[in-house]
Chains A and B, each alone.
Chain A
């Protein structure tokens, strides 16, 4: 599937999902500023025993004037909310995700040294910066999803299944991963069928479309990381060898090209899987409407 089509489909899907979630908020200007929205999201990650502290952060933000002050305060609180224990079983998942991302970074660095990818070419530095940013974002995103109730185990399990199905299509070989030789049917299964099923089954399993969407996103992110590790390992093993590439490129150029392809596949593949999974969750949610998630109390004094 051509890359622009994938991007357009994903953006369209996200737009539809946002409109469906809150048509008025989508059409009007947002009623809250970005620090409030960010902090609202982050305090949702806190455990029940620390929920009051999330309300405390939000309450304090309500009295802080000045854009920069608000941003600084909210950013600090978001980090605190992300790191505040207890993590429970999510901790094991986060360490596994960090290990996979660290493995990819290690292999990338070894390739950069081996093929001299730091040889003064700014394009290599740009790719490395994008890869580092993407991996950090993936780790952060997955750690946030892992803390959501009911999403950790199904999401990681579905991510593993998604990764295994993708690799099975290539016959678990490095050669095919590098060559990305896939048929239309294979793409249909890997890019559409399995992610859709993940979102739908997750929703039906947990009987909640919101949890199903988180399962789909976690599956997309975790499978993306596993596949990125595998494809980086493939480049490490094959180097400039393997399937024929542009004959005009040097060894370092071929490796750099392949690493770039891996990164694009990581970003677009994950975006597509998450969007399709989202659609699957929404579809299943219509089949079996689940219980609505109770909203956070607007009056924490009554809770305290």
Chain B
């Protein structure tokens, strides 16, 4: 049985970044750079959000010899979830741009 624990502050940062333009598909690396998360933190969050039905994924065909690229955006349930987030909770999620390590 899957437990729906309250999302972490990092998850909410990701959700809010995706909710800024919900129709737009986003790349993982751009998302990580925007919310100042390492890839090691971002991907588990994306997996959890997708498992909970808050995130939909798609593939962009590879360019030249490069591999296909994964894209992400919120589902309608995800948009509703972000809209229902309490304001106080949202305030806590203001990103704190920190060390250079957060770039990845």
Residues of chain A touching chain B, judged by Cβ–Cβ distance below 8 Å, are 50, 52-53, 55-60, 62-64, 69, 72-80, 83-84, 298-301, 304
Contacts and interface: CB of A to CB of B under 8 A. Distances in A.
Contacts, number: 85
Contacts of A76: 38-43, 104
Name, among A55, A73, A83, A304, the residue most crowded by chain B CB atoms within 10 Å (CB to CB): A73
Closest 3 CB pairs of A and B: A72-B104, A76-B40, A76-B39
Given A59-B69, A60-B69, A300-B59, A73 B29 contact: yes
B70 interface: yes
Contact of A50 (B29, B42, B47, B61): B47
Interface residues of B, number: 26
Given A63-B69, A72-B103, A299-B68, A57 B44 contact: no
A303 to B, nearest CB: 9
Main SS at interface, chain A: helix
B47 A57 contact: no
A20 B42 CA distance: 38
A80 B58 CA distance: 20
22 contacts: A50-B47, A55-B67, A55-B68, A57-B28, A58-B67, A59-B68, A59-B70, A60-B29, A60-B39, A60-B69, A60-B70, A62-B67, A63-B29, A63-B66, A69-B103, A73-B104, A75-B40, A76-B38, A79-B40, A83-B44, A298-B67, A300-B59
Interface of B: 27-29, 32, 38-44, 46-47, 57-59, 61-62, 66-70, 101, 103-104
A59 B101 CA distance: 21
B39 A73 contact: yes
A148 to B, nearest CB: 20
Given A53-B47, A55-B70, A75 B57 contact: no
Given A53-B47, A60-B29, A69-B104, A80 B70 contact: no
Given A53-B43, A75-B40, 18 more contacts: A50-B47, A52-B57, A53-B46, A53-B70, A60-B28, A60-B70, A62-B69, A72-B103, A72-B104, A73-B32, A73-B39, A76-B41, A76-B43, A77-B39, A78-B40, A83-B44, A84-B44, A300-B70
A290 to B, nearest CB: 29
A63 to B, nearest CB: 6
Name, among A53, A74, A75, A83, the residue most crowded by chain B CB atoms within 10 Å (CB to CB): A53
Contacts of A298: 67
A144 to B, nearest CB: 16
Contacts of B42: 76
A118 to B, nearest CB: 31
